[in-house]
Structure 1
Amino acid sequence: MSNIGLQVRQAVPQIDTVVADYAVGYIQHVSNATEDSVTASQINIEEELNFICQLLKDAGGKKEQVEKLTNSVASSLKEQLAKNLSKLEVQGDTSKRLLDLSLLQANTSKRDINTSLALLGASRDIEHTGRQVESRVDKKKLEKQERKIAKKVAKRNNQFVNYEASKLLNSKKDEDYDSFYLAINPLELGTSGAGKSKDIKIDNFDLYVGDGKRILSEASLTLAYGRRYGLVGQNGIGKSTLLRALSRRELDIPRHITILHVEQEIRGDDTPALQSVLDADVWRKNLLQEESKINERVEEIENLRKEFDEDSLEVKKLDSERDDLENRLAQVNEKLYEMDSDKAESKAAAILFGLGFTKESQHQATKSFSGGWRMRLSLARALFCQPDLLLLDEPSNMLDVPSITYLSEYLKTYESTVLVVSHDRAFLNEVATDIIHQHSERLDYYRGSNFDNFYATREERIKNQRREYENQMAYRKHLQAFIDKFRYNAAKSSEAQSRIKKLEKLPILEPPEDDKVVTFNFPDPDKLSPPILQMSGVTFGFSPDKILFKDVEMDVNMESRIALCGGNGTGKTTLLKLLMDQLLPMEGMISRNGRLRIGYFAQHHVDAMDLTLSAVSWMSATFPGKSDEEYRRHLGAFGITGSLGLQKMELLSGGQKSRVAFAALCLSQPHILILDEPSNHLDTQGLDALADALINFKGGVFMVSHDVTIIDRVCNEIWVAEDTKVYRFPGNINAYKKHILELADAAGVVRRH
């Protein structure tokens, strides 16, 4: 193996020095492992050399030369390994004869601090599958070089590569929450982030999604500590991809800045909801465990001291170990004090209560909650951890109006940085201090703006850009006309040349982009004579001891614009199903006009779609009777135009699937639209189009929604479901939000951080 460095450079002539040294060192490490009686039986040569093979290919090596090299090395190492294993069978593992386990156990009193820290799980070794090894590689240089290689590969393949650190640095692909949290946010005692800036500035980076599509080009991301940023843009533009890249530190964020991303629901198990939130703070959890182990060991040392004379060497060793442990314990206690560990349970309970969890449900197992409630638990865990950078992706999609109101109030006094993706205008207006607009592979900043200010400023900016572009185009046309007319005129040739130079010096302006115009169009129904849809004395529950609501009196007519609000679990969706005749009341009567047609939009509408079909094919199979051309024309009224109607629906975005669902419910020309969370998955343009269509609709609208903006624009009646009652609220949606905050303040769950 002596000339392996030369072989590597011959196989990959253009290889960077750091990578070459690393590859040679790694191969030498594998070679040494085959000679060691302890590790010889554990080594997997094929797996180790496959890693080196891929590394050299990524560094620019040709496939044939690299594989020739690794095959040659593999053959040599296998021969060496076979000899050592056969020798091991004859002689046995002589290395283990150096230590007598019983002797170690008999002399536990002589442990030093390093042994104790090892028992506490505070090993300083680098993790590696199968064994612990000491790396002599400069990790910072290696990571920098791997990023460099990844960038070259990305450029060559025109795709974003999430470079995977070497096996020595990162051996786990599927890590649990605790491991991932500590990998992203390493806990270091004795060091402090005090005095270090927690601002984030990442300049000149590109970002790709897995299919090679570039979503950001030479972009810059700037996040000032303590500001709350709303990240907005059309569906499919790559906002969630940017959040994931930040959450995994694929972009260069200082290590002392802690990050947490609310992306998916937690896995349900037997852990109570409150304990699940407490466990989310992995730092606190690990420190408490270490505190317990140190105290146990200190107590053990006190007992062992009694067995020896006060002046003995054993007592001195035990005292030295105890002093080291007590120093470590002081660091642990200091960190726990910094994070207000003693107040953690009350803080977690207040957050859960604000997000809709009753005191009883906080002690239920997480597996007993539905997916939506487990998403709330994920949000509660993030708020409890209070990271320096909190990343939220459409948090309002999983919350009702009371919970959104609580969340917005909580975030207003959040001391760290927040970056939230949302299409909820009212939420962004209350929470955001700045807006970042992602579009055209770039990020535009609107500092000191909520959503409404951003929207108005952007409109004005586009008008100015269009005016500047049109003026320049007119000036270019004027110059070009003079040049064309007098270029070959001897008397005017000098003036023509002057204008040519002016034309060349003009900056090249791009025409301002226009947002895609999305329109919804609900067909006008024929008139019906009242009563249309009535509830009289309706009582319902899934069992006599679990009544959802009693004695409901409600009238829905062709002019109705009703929003039904209330916390999750109060029976809002159940009430819609009663109106749809999907459930029967326990008491009371629901009367419907005999000619009434209802269009129902279900919250989980996608579940009813065959996503392997195109929108046209699905509508043809589900609602037969029209030609494909008629279906395409109808879908076009909801923004599903061109090839979108002909491709499989599994390839459509969430917002596009929602538009298909809206198109389908209108095929029967309904008199009443009953909508359950219609705003989910729609971007700003889609929400505007939906609101305009509902305002212009000639029939009645009855909706359950968490989107305050669409309720405020469309509905003139607010009904509330709470405490087994369904009643009309005396005021608009903003008055209802104020009412919620008053109740929350009375309960002491808002602004208690």
Structure 2
Amino acid sequence: NIFFILSLRYRIDTSEQALFNFFVGGTICVLDCGGVEFEDGEEVYDAIGGLLQGSSADCKNEDDIRDICQQMFNTLKLYRPDLDLCFSPVNFIHFFFHTPPQTVDARKLEKAEAKLKQKQGRRNERDSQKTTSPLVLEEASASQASSKKDSRVDLSGKNRTYDIRIENFDVSFGERSLLQAAELSLSTGRRYGLIGRNGLGKTTLLKMLASRSLRVPAHITILHVEQEVAGDDTGALQSVLESDTVREGLLTEERLLNARIANGTAEGMETVRLSEIYAKLEEIEADKAPARASIILCGLGFSPKMQTLTTKEFSGGWRMRLALARALFAKPDLLLLDEPTNMLDVRAILWLENYLQTWQTTILVVSHDRNFLNAVVTDIIHLHSQRLESYRGDYENFVKTKEDRLKNQQREYEAQFQYREHIQVFIDRFRYNANRAAQVQSKLKLLEKLPELKPLEKETEVTLKFPDNFEKLSPPVLQLDEVEFYYNTDQRLFTQLSVSADLESRICIVGENGAGKSTMLKLLMGELTPVNGIRHAHRNLKIGYFSQHHVDQLDLNVCSIELLLNKFPGRNEEEYRHQLGGYGITGELATRPVASLSGGQKSRVAFAQMTMPCPNFYILDEPTNHLDMETIEALAKALNKFKGGVVLVSHDERLIRLVCRELWVCEHGNVRRVEGGFDEYRDILQEQFRKEGYL
């Protein structure tokens, strides 16, 4: 008998190799190689076909040997080289040949081993090239049907409308189609909220508009707040002023003309031109520009001292605020905003809501902040099923109108279905009745002419679950007592900070950027040590932490499954897929490089990674950034069902209202509890705006 035994032992160490053991008669032949070496059954035959043929007198038929090699290869496919995983128990394939044992030909064995080593060398060379080559990401593209008439009008300069209508266009990302035969209409002066599930193409659509890959009339100015301001020696206030290119151009020309006049080299027409410049500067109220820019910066959290700093002195988050300030000051005809509230604290969000309510030109904003949309937008554009649907009104009106539409569509579907059934019953009843043949044929033709019956499209419900299979912990679970902390003695962040939390806690921390919210979370986790005071944590406390910079902490060059494998080795692929699936990363999403995922999908991967060890206490820093509204709702439900403790920093009013029972305000080196919750905090901020003249 010949027995082929394939040992598929679970392993992680890539230096280990599976052994193929060939029991030929009483001889054991060991080939030092792994299943990854073979790409098809033919390669298995090339490696060991001669060995098998020489081991049996009855098995000389080449087709039989090839069949055996194919069976071996099929078994080897259980090995997953991309994850370096081998799956469960030892698999046996038995091939029986009723002949006396034969002696293995040593030369054939040596030849087979040489072939496999050569194959291994080529594969190692290819793997080396893969690891050194940079990750190539897919690119977005757009196409649209062009109208010769519209093109001629646009080129002639006669098109002076500021309304935008783009018909019959497609948008794709790599090979994935995001929008097909879509239409987009933007009326000047309206404020549009673009919503939809994570990964459907909202950000890509904004980029296609900003780059004019989708045709927007040439005279319409577009500003897309996407990248942070470059860090250089330009002052923050001056950086904002420079965004008004018309004003800057007039001022530059004025300085040049005045210099020529002072030197006595100016010509008569230049004096006339200088008068025109002064008139234009007065018309655009250029002298009031610094005050207007300062108000915008103050509203976004820049103190008077910060406005004098150079842009290179700010962190990335503050430079993103500068980019937003520049866009607001420049007042483009079409302002494109992608999750503007992600970079802002509650105070700045409230100011931005008030500021945009009086915006005169067109806005298209991607946002998952329900309250922000209700406060700002006049229309909703819903991206789903590779198309765009428009709704008048704010987000709440969209929800109501959408529900009414779905109900009407369901009623129409049911009525059409019943009508079809009624016709079909008649056809079935009289199909073989000669006297009714004409009527049956008429009914059949009627069925053919009816529009295609399409069932109602329903979006899948998002569900999240935080595992809570742990024992209750007696309080105090987590406590800071009389804590003092500072990074340098000139700037003391906290003095006499005393807070506590237990497994029943649902606490939200709010406050201005720079007040110390993230520092406080790190003190609670024990990542930072107090200068004075005590941190107490229960010995069985197990904290799960979600950082606001979670994307920076993910390995973008691997897929989500590999990410979990590297972080939590020792489990099979099914467990990793199950964990990711609980957060909406299913199917091919789990095998795509993390870098190619949308912001919301990366957040879901971060949630899957955070919950894998089953913590009993969660500390979440801005967890809603990039999440769509359905996922935010699911997150709120999951946190409410979770049996452990929760402390979170968030600016999302919806999440705060749904989850938190306590609101802590971080300011002036301490933390105070607001008894009236978010409503009281909002009223306090509104009163501050009125006193400071921002409203």
> So what's the TM-score if we normalise by structure 1?
0.69
Change in Cα spacing, 1:330 to 1:246, as seen in structure 2 (3 Å) is farther
Which residue of structure 2 aligns with residue 514 of structure 1?
458
Which residue of structure 1 aligns with residue 170 of structure 2?
207
Which residue of structure 1 aligns with residue 481 of structure 2?
536
Moved more, 518-527 or 402-411: 518-527
Which residue of structure 1 aligns with residue 669 of structure 2?
724
State the SS of the aligned residue for 1:201.
strand
Matches within 5 A, 1:172-183: none
Amino acid at match of 1:199: D
User: Which of these residues, 476, 498, 509, is aligned with residue 553 of structure 1?
Assistant: 498
Residue 391 of structure 1 and its aligned partner are, at CA, apart by 1.2
Q: Does 1:400 align with 2:364?
A: no
Matches within 5 A, 1:258-273: 258-273=221-236
Q: Does 1:622 align with 2:555?
A: no
Deviations 1:74-115 (A, max 9, x none): xxxxxxxxxxxxxxxxxxxxxxxxxxxxxxxxxxxxxxxxxx
User: Which of these residues, 407, 410, 416, is aligned with residue 472 of structure 1?
Assistant: 416
The whole-number CA distance in structure 2 between the counterparts of 1:217 and 1:652 is: 21
Moved more, 457-466 or 553-562: 457-466
Amino acid at match of 1:434: D
State the SS of the aligned residue for 2:663.
strand
The whole-number CA distance in structure 1 between the counterparts of 2:595 and 2:214 is: 30
Whichever structure has more helix as a proportion of its residues is 1
Q: Does 1:463 align with 2:407?
A: yes
Which residue of structure 2 aligns with residue 290 of structure 1?
253
Change in Cα spacing, 1:655 to 1:254, as seen in structure 2 (3 Å) is closer
Flag structure 1 segments of 5+ consecutive residues without an equivalent.
1-157, 164-185, 305-317
Flag structure 2 segments of 5+ consecutive residues without an equivalent.
1-139, 146-154
Residue 279 of structure 1 and its aligned partner are, at CA, apart by 0.6
Q: Does 1:453 align with 2:416?
A: no
Which residue of structure 2 aligns with residue 332 of structure 1?
277
Runs of 4+ in 1 over 4 A off after TM superposition: none
Residue 563 of structure 1 and its aligned partner are, at CA, apart by 0.6
Contact in 2 for aligned 1:159/1:214 (Cα 8 Å): no
Matches within 5 A, 1:268-283: 268-283=231-246
Which residue of structure 1 aligns with residue 369 of structure 2?
424
Amino acid at match of 1:660: V
Which residue of structure 2 aligns with residue 230 of structure 1?
193
Contact in 2 for aligned 1:160/1:212 (Cα 8 Å): no
Residue 627 of structure 1 and its aligned partner are, at CA, apart by 3.1
Amino acid at match of 1:706: H
Change in Cα spacing, 1:242 to 1:654, as seen in structure 2 (3 Å) is closer
User: Which of these residues, 142, 146, 167, is aligned with residue 160 of structure 1?
Assistant: 142
Whichever structure has more strand as a proportion of its residues is 2
The whole-number CA distance in structure 1 between the counterparts of 2:248 and 2:644 is: 56
Matches within 5 A, 1:6-405: 160=142, 197-202=161-166, 204-209=167-172, 211-300=174-263, 303=264, 321-322=267-268, 324-405=269-350
Residue 578 of structure 1 and its aligned partner are, at CA, apart by 0.6
Residue 543 of structure 1 and its aligned partner are, at CA, apart by 1.2
Which residue of structure 1 aligns with residue 647 of structure 2?
702
Deviations 1:497-522 (A, max 9, x none): 33223323322343232113221111
Amino acid at match of 1:744: F
RMSD of equivalent CA atoms: 2.4
The whole-number CA distance in structure 1 between the counterparts of 2:417 and 2:643 is: 45
The whole-number CA distance in structure 2 between the counterparts of 1:389 and 1:646 is: 37
Residue 362 of structure 1 and its aligned partner are, at CA, apart by 0.7
Amino acid at match of 1:240: T
Q: Does 1:691 align with 2:636?
A: yes
State the SS of the aligned residue for 2:234.
coil
State the SS of the aligned residue for 1:160.
strand
Contact in 2 for aligned 1:159/1:213 (Cα 8 Å): no
Residue 526 of structure 1 and its aligned partner are, at CA, apart by 1.8
Contact in 1 for aligned 2:464/2:635 (Cα 8 Å): yes
The whole-number CA distance in structure 2 between the counterparts of 1:207 and 1:423 is: 24
Contact in 2 for aligned 1:159/1:212 (Cα 8 Å): no
Moved more, 460-469 or 278-287: 460-469
The whole-number CA distance in structure 2 between the counterparts of 1:703 and 1:353 is: 26
The whole-number CA distance in structure 2 between the counterparts of 1:614 and 1:418 is: 36
Residue 227 of structure 1 and its aligned partner are, at CA, apart by 1.6
The whole-number CA distance in structure 1 between the counterparts of 2:430 and 2:144 is: 58
Q: Does 1:594 align with 2:539?
A: yes
Contact in 2 for aligned 1:465/1:512 (Cα 8 Å): yes
Deviations 1:623-682 (A, max 9, x none): 234333223222222222234334432333222222222122222322211001111121
The whole-number CA distance in structure 2 between the counterparts of 1:201 and 1:192 is: 16
State the SS of the aligned residue for 1:444.
strand
Q: Does 1:670 align with 2:611?
A: no
Which residue of structure 2 aligns with residue 62 of structure 1?
none
State the SS of the aligned residue for 1:209.
strand
The whole-number CA distance in structure 2 between the counterparts of 1:209 and 1:643 is: 17
The whole-number CA distance in structure 2 between the counterparts of 1:376 and 1:692 is: 31
The whole-number CA distance in structure 2 between the counterparts of 1:237 and 1:640 is: 14
Contact in 1 for aligned 2:254/2:277 (Cα 8 Å): yes
Q: How many residues align?
A: 546
Which residue of structure 2 aligns with residue 656 of structure 1?
601
The whole-number CA distance in structure 1 between the counterparts of 2:622 and 2:599 is: 13
The whole-number CA distance in structure 2 between the counterparts of 1:630 and 1:255 is: 53
Deviations 1:341-386 (A, max 9, x none): 1001011111111101111111111011111111000000001111
Contact in 1 for aligned 2:171/2:205 (Cα 8 Å): no
The whole-number CA distance in structure 2 between the counterparts of 1:714 and 1:343 is: 44
Residue 192 of structure 1 and its aligned partner are, at CA, apart by 13
> So what's the TM-score if we normalise by structure 2?
0.75
Contact in 2 for aligned 1:205/1:216 (Cα 8 Å): no
Which residue of structure 2 aligns with residue 567 of structure 1?
512
Amino acid at match of 1:538: V
Which residue of structure 1 aligns with residue 357 of structure 2?
412
Percentage identity across aligned positions? Answer: 50
